[in-house]
């Protein structure tokens, strides 16, 4: 065996963000940049000798190159086996499924999710632990600490593995198994949902759907599940071939970036149901005919209808949502008599709640929904959940959501993103708010009176770990909220996120455009944070 120990020097910017390390492709192409981070992961793990690692990615530019390096480094560092998706492909939820099913030690997922790809785009890498979920903060902190002192890495000198050929090959003493990227995941979906019922519904001439995979990783999964297993007509899945640059687009399933699907669903002769997923397949957008379901509402509706779906027929242990997500799920939890947990942004915070059986469904406002079936958010799972509910209720998406509002009230919700603003003033803005908001209690803005203001701090109810500075919250006495935080996934400058929410119990007032319903709160947020003065922007770049 030809194991090389290569001298290297630390990079000072390998701190994982909300979801792993994300940088431009050119940064990852810097000599030893990838190797340093991979070795830092391995160096901060204990007891993996001879065990199994899962590796795969969203197929973006540099995916195959990075996988070859990771395989050779895993072999040199003593892993016994690597399971890698065919063609280097694994969606994030499929990787989570495979880690759990084969009881792997952990997994490495290559993705920058919804960030654009290609030689001038972004790349990313993250480590998932044995429960299939993103490494918790104590692990990512250890990886970062190691990356600051690293002075060597180990790699096996050997020919590349053919990632397109299914089957096992030896890499030194380690076995590499190239596995079908879709089969295990598709089987898990079949165990949760009533495929017979969905198949019957999809074949009824009255129902039409469109699934936009945005030239990202879910194409092969969606084709197998919707068109082969569930018998949807050919062409139901659009943009179904993963491309290294996602066809030049942002593989981000929202009203702005999934514009083709939005146009179709809001146009003449629109299908009944539309869905999209992101670069790595963990996000979802749900549309009805001329109707958009906000992700927060989606979580609430799925929770309220969960017992209609075989995998959840016995009810939910609890619900968990990230802090900026609207409080719509809280109302369902209260009605069901179960707990609703509020966590910081990022799926890693749901892992303990899911492992401990405290939560069954989880969600984030950023088009993320999932459950205890894996430990990642799961785009196609959410689409199947909706289809199962539609097949049972035989009502339109719009009818289901508006009836939900009548029962629970409507949480008007919107997120305004100010992308790529200068980093220093963005941090200044947050610092200003951090000192301002605790002084605001009792202050009146128009019809709103401040109830509390703080910088969200989370104590994990399972292991007691504390995560501070997770976003500025301003709560009003009528339950409305304004939240500010800086993105932890962007790669250029800073991205300011402003989250707005108000509650309307009266069904006759639930039909407004959210931007109108939230107009006063938007103005208050601008006044408090001095967004224009500090960022130079008076309009957000993306509104969802
Ligand atoms: C964003 C979202 C967050 C999500 C994260 C990873 O993080 O707001 O809810 O968990 O992306 O999603 P941030 O720090 O930029 O706000 V994904 O699909 O990019 O893995
Ligand atoms: Co994603």
Structure tokens at 46: 């204990």
CATH number of the domain at 107, please. Answer: 3.40.120.10
pLDDT value, residue 162: 98
pLDDT confidence tier of residue 382, bands split at 50, 70 and 90: very high
| Domain endpoint, select from 181, 213, 240 | 181
Q: Are residues 255 and 377 in the same domain?
A: yes
Query: Do 40 and 123 belong together in one domain?
Result: yes
220 and 260 belong to one structural domain: yes
Convert the pLDDT of each residue in 522-535 to its tens digit: 999 999 999 999 99
Mutate to test the pocket of ligand 1, among 133, 343, 366 (most ligand atoms within 8 A of CB): 366
Q: Ligand 1, closest atom to CA 92?
A: 20
Could you tell me the distance, in angstroms and rounded to a whole number, from the CA of residue 2 to the centre of ligand 2?
37
| Mean pLDDT across 313-332 | 97
Query: Helices marked H in 394-436 — which ranges?
Result: 397-408, 423-436
Distance 251 CA to ligand 2 centre (A): 9
Which of 339-355 are b and which e, b meaning 16 or more Cβ less than 10 Å from the residue's Cβ? bbbbbbbbbbbbbbbbe
- Does any ligand 1 atom lie closer than 6 A to the CB of residue 345? yes
CB of 324 closer than 6 angstroms to any ligand 1 atom: no
- 61 touches 117 (CB < 8 A): yes
Average pLDDT, the chain: 96
- Same domain, residue pair 393 and 458: no
Cβ neighbourhood burial of 392 (10 Å; 0-12, 13-18, 19+): middle
Pocket perturbation via mutation, ligand 1, pick of 253, 346, 426 by most ligand atoms within 8 A of CB = 346
Please tell me the pTM assigned to this model: 0.95
417 lies in the same domain as 386? no
Please report which confidence band the pLDDT of residue 538 belongs to, taking 50, 70 and 90 as the band edges. Answer: confident
pLDDT digits over 82-124, tens only?
Answer: 999 999 999 999 999 999 999 999 999 999 999 999 999 999 9
Cβ(489) – ligand 1 distance below 6 Å: yes
| Same domain, residue pair 402 and 414 | no
pLDDT given at position 491: 78
Half-sphere exposure of 361 (CA within 13 A, CB side): 30
Ligand 1 within 6 A of 487 CB?
yes
Ligand having the closest approach to the CA of 214: 2
pLDDT digits (tens, 9 = 90+) for 115-145: 999 999 999 999 999 999 999 989 999 999 9
- State which residues have CB under 5 angstroms from ligand 2, the bound ion: 113, 278, 280, 282-283
Quote the domain boundaries for residue 20.
3-181
Query: Quick one: angle between helices 183-192 and 92-101, nearest 10?
Result: 90
What CATH number does the domain containing 471 carry? 3.30.310.50
Confidence band (pLDDT; 50, 70, 90) for 185?
very high
Digit-coded pLDDT (tens) for 207-248:
999 999 999 999 999 999 999 999 999 999 999 999 999 999
Ligand nearest to the CA of 343: 1
Asked if 145 and 166 sit in the same domain, the reply is yes
Query: Is residue 490's pLDDT more than 80?
Result: no
Distance of CA 345 from the midpoint of ligand 1 (Å): 7
How many alpha carbons fall within 13 Å on the CB side of residue 425?
13
Ligand nearest to the CA of 134: 1
Q: What percent of the chain has pLDDT over 70?
A: 100
Binding site membership of 279 for ligand 1 (Cβ less than 6 Å): no
Q: What is the rounded distance in angstroms from the CA atom of residue 458 to the CA atom of residue 39?
A: 30
Same domain, 403 and 278: yes
Q: Are 295 and 390 contained in the same domain? A: yes
Tally of structural domains, the chain: 3
Clarify whether residues 383 and 482 are in a common domain: no
What is the per-residue pLDDT for 321? 98
Is 19 near ligand 1, meaning CB less than 6 Å away? yes
Phi, then psi, of 85 in degrees rounded to 5: -70, 145
Q: Of 391, 407, 423, which residue is a domain's last? A: 407
Last residue of a domain, one of 181, 198, 223: 181
For residue 446, what are its two tokens? 């128009």
- Nearest-atom number in ligand 1 for the CA of 377 is 18
Summarised one tens digit per residue, pLDDT across range 241-273 is 999 999 998 999 999 999 999 999 999 999 999
Residues 115 and 228 in one domain: no
Mean local confidence (pLDDT), 376-383: 98
Residues 63 and 85 in one domain: yes
């Amino acid at each position: 065996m030809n194991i090389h120990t290569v001298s290297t020097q630390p990079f000072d910017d390998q701190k994982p963000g909300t979801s792993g390390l994300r940088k431009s492709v050119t940064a990852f192409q810097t000599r030893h940049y990838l190797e340093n981070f991979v070795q830092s992961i391995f160096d901060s793990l204990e007891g993996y000798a001879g065990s199994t690692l899962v590796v795969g990615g969203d197929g973006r530019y540099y995916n195959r190159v990075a996988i070859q390096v990771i395989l050779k480094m895993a072999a040199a560092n003593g892993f016994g086996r690597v399971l890698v998706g065919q063609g280097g492909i694994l969606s994030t939820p499929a990787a989570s499924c495979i880690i759990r099913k084969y009881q792997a030690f952990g997994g490495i997922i290559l993705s920058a999710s919804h960030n654009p790809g290609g030689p001038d785009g972004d790349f990313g890498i993250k480590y998932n632990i044995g429960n299939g979920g993103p490494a918790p903060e104590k692990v990512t902190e250890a990886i970062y600490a190691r990356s600051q002192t690293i002075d060597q890495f180990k790699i096996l000198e050997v020919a590349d593995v053919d990632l397109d050929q299914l089957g096992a090959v030896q890499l030194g003493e380690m076995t590499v198994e190239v596995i079908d990227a879709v089969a295990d995941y598709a089987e898990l979906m079949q165990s949760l949902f009533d495929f017979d019922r969905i198949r019957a519904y999809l074949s009824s001439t009255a129902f039409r759907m469109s699934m936009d995979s945005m030239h990202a990783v879910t194409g092969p999964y969606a084709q197998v599940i919707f068109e082969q297993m569930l018998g949807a007509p050919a062409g139901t899945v659009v943009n179904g071939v993963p491309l290294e640059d996602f066809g030049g687009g942002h593989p981000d399933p929202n009203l702005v970036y999934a514009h083709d699907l939005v146009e179709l669903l809001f146009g003449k002769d629109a299908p009944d149901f539309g869905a999209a997923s992101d670069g790595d397949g963990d996000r979802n957008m749900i549309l009805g005919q001329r109707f958009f379901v906000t992700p927060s509402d989606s979580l609430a509706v799925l929770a309220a209808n969960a017992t209609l779906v075989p995998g959840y027929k016995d009810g939910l242990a609890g619900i968990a949502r990230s802090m900026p997500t609207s409080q719509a799920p809280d109302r369902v939890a209260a009605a069901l008599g179960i707990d609703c947990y509020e966590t910081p942004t990022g799926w890693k915070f749901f892992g303990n709640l899911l492992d401990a059986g405290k939560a069954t469904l989880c969600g984030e406002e950023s088009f993320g929904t999932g459950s205890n079936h894996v430990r990642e958010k799961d785009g196609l799972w959410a689409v199947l959940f909706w289809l199962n509910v539609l097949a049972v209720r035989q009502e339109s998406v719009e009818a289901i959501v508006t009836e939900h509002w009548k029962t629970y009230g409507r949480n008007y919700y919107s997120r305004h993103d100010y992308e790529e603003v200068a980093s220093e003033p963005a941090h200044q803005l947050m610092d200003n708010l951090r000192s301002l908001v605790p002084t605001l209690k009792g202050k009146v803005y128009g019809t709103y009176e401040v109830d509390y203001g703080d910088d969200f701090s989370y104590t994990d109810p399972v292991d007691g770990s504390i995560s501070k500075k997770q976003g500025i919250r301003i709560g009003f006495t009528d339950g409305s909220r304004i939240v500010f935080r800086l993105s932890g996934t962007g790669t250029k400058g800073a991205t300011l996120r402003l989250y707005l929410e108000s509650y309307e119990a009266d069904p006759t007032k639930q039909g407004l455009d959210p931007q109108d319903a939230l107009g006063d709160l938007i103005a208050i947020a601008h006044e408090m944070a001095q967004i224009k003065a500090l960022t130079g922007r008076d309009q957000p770049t993306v509104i969802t």
